[in-house]
Structure 1
Amino acid sequence: MRLIELTADRASFRPVRFNPDGLSLIVGGRSQKEDGDSDKTYNGVGKSLAIALIHFCLGSNKVNAFQEAIPDWEFSLRFENRGNNHRISRNTSRQNIVVFDGQEMKLKDLREHLACLAFDLPSGVDGLSFRPLLYKFLRRGKADYVEAEHTSSDHSPYEKLIRNIFLLGLDVDLVAEKARLNQRLKRIQDSNKSLKNDPVLREFYTANKDVEIELSFLQERITQLEANQRSFEVADDYYQVEKEANDLGIELQALRNRAVILRNAIDNIDKSLKVRPDITPDRIETAYRELGSAFRPETLRRLEEVQEFHRHLVDNRVTRLSQERRRLEREFANKEQSIRALNDALNEKTAFLGRSRALDYFVAIGNEIASLKAKAQKLDDYRALGRRWSDELATTKGAMQQEVLRTNAYLAQIHPRLDEVNGVFKGLSRRLYPDSPAGLTLRNNDGENQVRFNFEVRIENDASDGINEARIFCYDLTLLTAGRNHHINLVFHDSRLFSDMDPRQRAEAFRIARDITARRGCQYIATLNEDQIEGMADYLTEEERAMITANTVLALGDRAAEEKLLGVQVDMHY
C-alpha cells in the first residue's frame, strides 16, 4: 500500500499529491517567526490535520470535531495496493458510511477489506486488525511518539506485543497462547477465591458450614427419612382414628381414676370391719354404777338393755359395711372389665397410627427429603467445583510451564531471523549514533502474566536529546524494510518526531529515508516545519537541500486562510 492523493469536494481544499516513491514532505511555514517550541509555533496550518484526514479515510472512528466544524465535507484518498489503485471517500456528516471504489459500505466492512489488502492476518488471533496495525506505519498524535514499540491503539501490554511480533514475522501463536492461558488462570483463581472468600456466595452454598461435615450429616438424614418413608402406610382415615384414640385415652383415664377411688373405698371398708369395740362388760358395768349415783334410778335403764343395744349397733354397722363393700366390688369389677376393653381398643388404634401416616404428613416428609437433597446437591456442586478448579489450576499452570519450554526452544531456533532484523535496526541506528550500542531485545517472560516476550527497542545513549525519537525512526523503518506479514510501502511521520532531534541526526534521518526509499521503491512521508528544515541546512549538501525542496509536495502557511490545508479558517480540535 502506498498513498497517491488526498482530496476533498471543496475547491478551497489544497490537495496532497504524494510522490509514488522516495520522500514526500508537507512543510508548514509561518509569517511571524517566534522563539520557542517549533511545534507550537507552526500549529494550525494543517500538517497534523493531513494525517488525521488520511486516518479518517482509512476507517478511523467517528470524529465529532469534523462533523461540527466542517459539516458535509467529503474527503477522498487514492492509494495503490499491490498494483491496483483504489479510492475511499467519506463524508463528515455521514461518517458511518464510506464509499470504496464506488461501492458504499459500513466502517466495519471497510476495515475488514483493508485488512485483507494490507496484512496477512492469521485467523483466530485476538489483537490483530487493520486499524491498530496501521498505526505502526502511520503514527498520528502525541501518544504515538512516546515509545518505539507503542502506539495509541495499543491498549494493553498483550496488544502492544502481539502487533510488534506479528510485523516482525515472529510466532504470534506463542503470544496468544500465553495470554489465553493467563486469562484462564486468572479466571480460575478469581472464581476459586470468590467461592472460598465471598461471604454471599459461600453463605448461598454452605450456610457458612464445613462442607464435608454438613454433607455427611445431610446424607445420613436423607437415608433415615427415606427409610421411614418407605415403611409408612398412608391412611385416609388417619385423623379420624387419631381422634378416636384420643377420646379412648380420655375415657380410659377416667375409668382408671374411678377404679382407684373404688379400690381405696374397699380398702377403707376392710379396715373398718377389722375394728372391734374395746369396751368390755366390766367397764360398762362400772360406767353404769357411776351414772346411777348421778341420776335417779328410774332414768337409767338396766345394764342388760345397754349391752343389748351395743351389740345391735355393732351388728348393724358390720351388715351395712359388708353390703357397701359388695356393691363397690361389683362396680370395681365392671370398671376393670371396661378398662381392659378400652385398653385393647386403644392399643389397636395406637398400633394402626404407629404403622400408618396421614397423606399430608407423608407429603411433608417427602418435601423435607427434597429440601435436604437440594441442600446436599448444592454442597456437592460446591465441592465438585472446588475440585474441578483445583484440577484446572494445576493443568493450566502445567501448560504454562510447557509453553515456557516451547518458547525457549523457539528463541534458540529463530536466531537467524532475529539477527536479520537486528542487523537492519543496528545499521540504521549506527548512522544516527555511531558510538551507541543498539538493538531489538526479545526475551522469554516466564511470569504469570499475558506477556510472552519482553520486547524492547534500545539505543543506549540516554544523555542525548532526541534519542527516543531516533528509536522510533529506526524501528519504524525496520518494520517497513525488514518486517513481514504486511504490504505497507510507506512510513508517515509527524513533525513532532523531529522537534527534539539534534539537527545533525535530523539531517541524517532524511538521508536514511532517501536511501531506503530509493533502494526499495517505497514512500517516506513526513510533515516538517520550516525552522526544522532551516536548522539542519548546515548539515545538508547543496544537492540534499535541493532534494528537500524538490520533494516538498505541499507547502502550508498562515498568512491567509487560503494557505492552510482546508483553504478556510476553521477552529477545530480533533
Structure 2
Amino acid sequence: MLRQLRADDERFKTVTFQSGLNLLVAETTNVSRSTDSRNGSGKSSMVELLHFLLGARADNKHLVARKELRRTTFTLSLDWPELREELNVSRSGGDAKTVTLDPGVARRPDPTALSRIAEPLTLSLPEADEPETLPVTVAGPQTVQLTEWQALIEENLFGLAGDHPGVSGRALLSFLIRRVGDHGFNEAVRSFARQPEGQAAPNLAYLLGLDSALAARYQDISAKKNARDQLKKAVNDPVWGRVVGKAADLRGEIAVQSSKIEELRRQIAAFRVVPQYEVLKERADDLTRRIQDLSTQDIIDRRNLDHLERSVEEAVDPEVRYLEQVYDELGVTLPQQALRRFDDVRAFHAAVVRNRRTYLKEEIAETRQRLDARKAERARLDDEQSGILKDLNDGGALEALTTLQKALSQEEATLGALQHRLEAAQTVEASSREIEAARLELTREVDTDLRERQEQITQATVLFNELAGRLYGSGRPAYLSVEAGRSSLKITPKISSDVSQGINKMSIFCFDLTMAVIAHREGRAPDFLVHDSHIFDGVDDRQLTRALEIAVDVTAAEGMQYIVTINEDDLGKARNLGFNPAPYLIEPLLTDAYEGGGLFGFRFER
C-alpha cells in the first residue's frame, strides 16, 4: 500500500494514505477569487508525482522539471513485498535519472541464471516447515539508476521475471494509476490517447491472468504488415528500382556474384606464397634484360659478319701486266729494271691482300664464336628464366594473397547488400496471404488458449457484472468480452446503455477495479488503485455514491487500497444520498486559495 507522499519543501502539503478508501478532497474556499479554480488545487499533480516516484520518465515538460520544483526532492513511502518496514523512495526533477531507496533494495538473483553457471549441489537437510523468504535488502539508503528502479518495480510489485514480451511495469501502472494528462479516462482499454490495442492488450491480459505472450504476438504481425505497406508504397517510387529492384533481377545478380566469390575462394585456396617472391621477380626481370642485350649484340655481330664476308670476297691480287701492253702499243720499250719493279709492286700488293684476307677471316671466326657463345648463354638464361616464371606463376607474394582476400571481402559485402535488397524485394512482393495465414494461426492459438482459461475469464466477468450491477441494477447487462480479434486480443468491458460520458466513466471504474482485484489475488499487481476526480465527470449522483460504497466494500474484502481525488461538491452529492465520507477523508484538504492553497502551498502556471 501507499503510505505517504511528502517533499523537502515545507510548503508542500504531505499526503498521508490509509488502507481501504482514501478520499483526497479539493474545495473552494470563502476567500477564493473569482478566477481561482479547483483545477489548480493539485489533484492531478498528486497523480503525476505518484507516477514520477514510481519510475516514470521526466522530460523537460514534466511537472517536476518546472524551475519552481526542480530542486525539490519528493518522497513516497510504501509497503514493499517481504520488507518489514516501509520503503522510502526519493527523487527530484534536478536529477531525474536516479532514485534513492531507503532502505536499499537489491534485485533477487535469477535462479535460472545461477543454474546455468553452477553445477547442481545436493545437500541432505532435515525436514522442516516451509522456509521463510527473507527480504533482499541493502544496508542504509541506496541510490539506483531509474532503469534499475523500474526493474525492481516489475519484479516485486508485478511479479515480472525473465522475458515478458509486450508487458512492462510502467504500462501496468498506467492502468492502475490513470493520468488525465494522457487522456487515460477516455477508454477503459487504453491508458493514453490513441494507444494501439496491440500494445495495450498484453498488459491487460497479464492483469487478468491471460496469456500475455500470445497477445504480444499480434504486435509482431502488425509490425510486418506496416512494414509491408510502407515498402509497397515505395514500389511506385522511380528510385525504387535503383535502391532495391525486382526479386527476379536480384536473384540473377546474386547468382553471378556468388560465382565470382567461388572463383576467388578457389584461387585463395590454391594460392601458394613463394618465399623471396620479390627477389625472384627481380632476378626474372634481370634475366629478361640480359637476354635482350644478347639479342642486340647478335644483331650487331651479324651485320659485321656480313660486312667481313663481303670484304674477303673483294680482297684480290693486283694485276700490273696490262701496263706492258699499254707501253708496247705506245711504242715504248720498258727497261728490264722497270719490269722488275712492277713485279715487286705486284708482290707487295699480293702480300697486303693476303694479310687482309687473313685478318678478315680471323675477325669472321671471332664473330661467329661470339654468336655461338651468346646462343649458348641465351639458352642457359632462357632455362633459368622459365624456371623462375613457373614458380612465380604457381604462387605469389603475401601481398598478392592479401589483395585476393581483400577482393573477396569486397565481393562478399556486395553479395550481402544484394541479399538484403532481395529480402526487401521479397517482403514487398510477398502476398498478403502470408500475413493473413500468420494472423489466422495466431487467432486459432488465442481461441484455444481462451477456452483453456475460461475459468479466469469467467471470474473477471462475474466480478465486473457484480460491480456494474451495484451501480445500475441487475436489469442492465454488463460483462467482459474477450476474443481473438484481427489485430489484437480484444478485451472489452460492456454495460448495456445509451452512450453517455457518465456510463463510460463508470465502465472504466468497474473495469479498473476488476483488473486490480483479479491481479492482486494472483500476486500479479500491488494492492492499490488510484483515480483522478475525472472518473466522476458526468456521473449521476446515485452512481457516484454507489461507486464510493463499492470501493469501501471491495477494498475491505480484498485488503486493498483505493485512492481517489474528489471535488467537495461531488462529495456533497454522495453525502446527501446517505454516504458518510468521514472515515475515508485523508489529509490534507486541498483548496484553491491563491496564497498557501493547493498541494504545493503556492501557485504557479503549469
Q: Per the shorter chain, which TM-score range?
A: 0.5 to 0.7
**Could you tell me the TM-score, scaled by structure 1's length?**
0.67
2:516 to 480, 483, 490: 480
Give aligned pairs, total: 510
2:450 corresponds to 1:418: no
* Correspondences of 1:105-504 after superposition (within 5 Å): 105-108=142-145, 111-125=150-164, 128=167, 130-143=169-182, 144-151=184-191, 160-175=200-215, 210-219=256-265, 226=272, 234=280, 241-261=287-307, 301=330, 332=364, 334-356=366-388, 365-376=397-408, 379=411, 406-429=445-468, 431-432=471-472, 439-443=480-484, 453-457=489-493, 463-466=499-502, 468-483=504-519, 484-501=522-539
Match of residue 86 from structure 2: 86
| Contact residue 215 and residue 380 of structure 1 kept, 8 A | yes
| Contact residue 235 and residue 359 of structure 1 kept, 8 A | no
Report the CA distance between 1:254 and its aligned residue. 0.9
Unaligned runs of 5+ in 1: 200-206, 273-297, 303-311
Question: SS in structure 1 opposite 2:77?
Answer: strand
Question: SS in structure 2 opposite 1:492?
Answer: strand
2:551 corresponds to 1:513: yes
Distance 2:550 2:163 in 1: 37
| Contact residue 281 and residue 392 of structure 2 kept, 8 A | no
Report the CA distance between 1:88 and its aligned residue. 1.9
| Contact residue 24 and residue 526 of structure 1 kept, 8 A | yes
Question: SS in structure 2 opposite 1:339?
Answer: helix
| Contact residue 187 and residue 508 of structure 2 kept, 8 A | yes
Which letter maps to 1:48?
S
| Contact residue 542 and residue 577 of structure 2 kept, 8 A | no
Match of residue 29 from structure 1: 28
Which letter maps to 1:29?
T
Distance 1:469 1:67 in 2: 35
Q: 1:197 to 1:422 in 2, by over 3 A?
A: farther
Which letter maps to 1:251?
Q
2:48 corresponds to 1:52: yes
Which letter maps to 1:352?
E
Match of residue 282 from structure 1: none
Unaligned runs of 5+ in 2: 105-139, 235-239, 246-252, 317-326, 332-341, 428-433
* Correspondences of 1:517-528 after superposition (within 5 Å): 517-528=555-566
Match of residue 565 from structure 1: 599
Distance 1:263 1:404 in 2: 108
Which letter maps to 1:246?
Q
Which letter maps to 1:342?
R
| Larger of the two Rg values belongs to structure | 1
| Contact residue 274 and residue 391 of structure 2 kept, 8 A | no
Q: 1:572 to 1:77 in 2, by over 3 A?
A: farther
Which aligned segments of 4 or more residues in structure 1 are displaced greater than 6 angstroms?
32-36, 80-83, 153-158, 177-187, 227-233, 263-267, 322-330, 358-363, 384-391, 396-404
Question: SS in structure 2 opposite 1:525?
Answer: strand
| Contact residue 214 and residue 446 of structure 2 kept, 8 A | yes
| Contact residue 77 and residue 88 of structure 1 kept, 8 A | yes
Report the CA distance between 1:67 and its aligned residue. 6.8
Question: SS in structure 2 opposite 1:68?
Answer: coil
Question: SS in structure 1 opposite 2:209?
Answer: coil
| Contact residue 111 and residue 130 of structure 1 kept, 8 A | yes
| Contact residue 75 and residue 89 of structure 2 kept, 8 A | yes
| Contact residue 188 and residue 511 of structure 2 kept, 8 A | yes
Structural RMSD (CA): 5.7
Q: 1:488 to 1:480 in 2, by over 3 A?
A: same
1:442-461 C-alpha deviation (Å, 9 max, x unpaired)? 3165x7xxx6x355555576
| Contact residue 493 and residue 507 of structure 2 kept, 8 A | yes
Report the CA distance between 1:251 and its aligned residue. 0.8
Q: 1:346 to 1:8 in 2, by over 3 A?
A: closer
Q: 1:531 to 1:232 in 2, by over 3 A?
A: closer
2:576 corresponds to 1:547: no
Question: Greater RCO between the two (CA within 8 Å, min separation 6)?
Answer: 1
Question: SS in structure 2 opposite 1:565?
Answer: coil
1:392-427 C-alpha deviation (Å, 9 max, x unpaired)? x99x99999986664443233223322332333344
Question: SS in structure 2 opposite 1:106?
Answer: strand
Q: Which moved more, 1:207-216 or 1:220-229?
A: 220-229
| Contact residue 443 and residue 484 of structure 2 kept, 8 A | no
Distance 1:365 1:356 in 2: 14
Match of residue 284 from structure 1: none
Distance 2:376 2:100 in 1: 100
Distance 1:132 1:486 in 2: 13
| Contact residue 425 and residue 478 of structure 1 kept, 8 A | yes
Question: SS in structure 1 opposite 2:455?
Answer: helix
Report the CA distance between 1:476 and its aligned residue. 0.7
Q: 1:329 to 1:70 in 2, by over 3 A?
A: closer
Report the CA distance between 1:64 and its aligned residue. 3.6
| Contact residue 178 and residue 191 of structure 2 kept, 8 A | yes
Q: 1:155 to 1:266 in 2, by over 3 A?
A: farther
Q: Which moved more, 1:407-416 or 1:224-233?
A: 224-233
Question: SS in structure 2 opposite 1:98?
Answer: strand
Q: 1:564 to 1:21 in 2, by over 3 A?
A: same
1:89-146 C-alpha deviation (Å, 9 max, x unpaired)? 6365777453535941225465555555432223233565544433321223421334
| Contact residue 48 and residue 494 of structure 1 kept, 8 A | yes
2:69 corresponds to 1:69: yes
1:294-318 C-alpha deviation (Å, 9 max, x unpaired)? xxxx99858xxxxxxxxx9xx99xx
Q: 1:498 to 1:332 in 2, by over 3 A?
A: same
Which letter maps to 2:484?
R
Question: SS in structure 1 opposite 2:463?
Answer: helix
Which letter maps to 1:411?
L
| Contact residue 77 and residue 89 of structure 1 kept, 8 A | yes
Which letter maps to 1:480?
A
Which letter maps to 1:42?
R
Q: Identity percentage over the alignment?
A: 18
Q: Which moved more, 1:58-67 or 1:396-405?
A: 396-405
Which letter maps to 1:212?
S
| Contact residue 459 and residue 471 of structure 1 kept, 8 A | yes
Report the CA distance between 1:353 and its aligned residue. 1.4
Distance 1:389 1:105 in 2: 50
Report the CA distance between 1:479 and its aligned residue. 0.7
Distance 1:235 1:43 in 2: 91
| Contact residue 64 and residue 70 of structure 2 kept, 8 A | no
Q: 1:72 to 1:557 in 2, by over 3 A?
A: closer
Distance 2:6 2:397 in 1: 83
Question: SS in structure 1 opposite 2:301?
Answer: helix
Report the CA distance between 1:226 and its aligned residue. 4.7
Distance 2:303 2:494 in 1: 109
Report the CA distance between 1:372 and its aligned residue. 1.5
Question: SS in structure 2 opposite 1:164?
Answer: helix
Which letter maps to 2:299?
Q
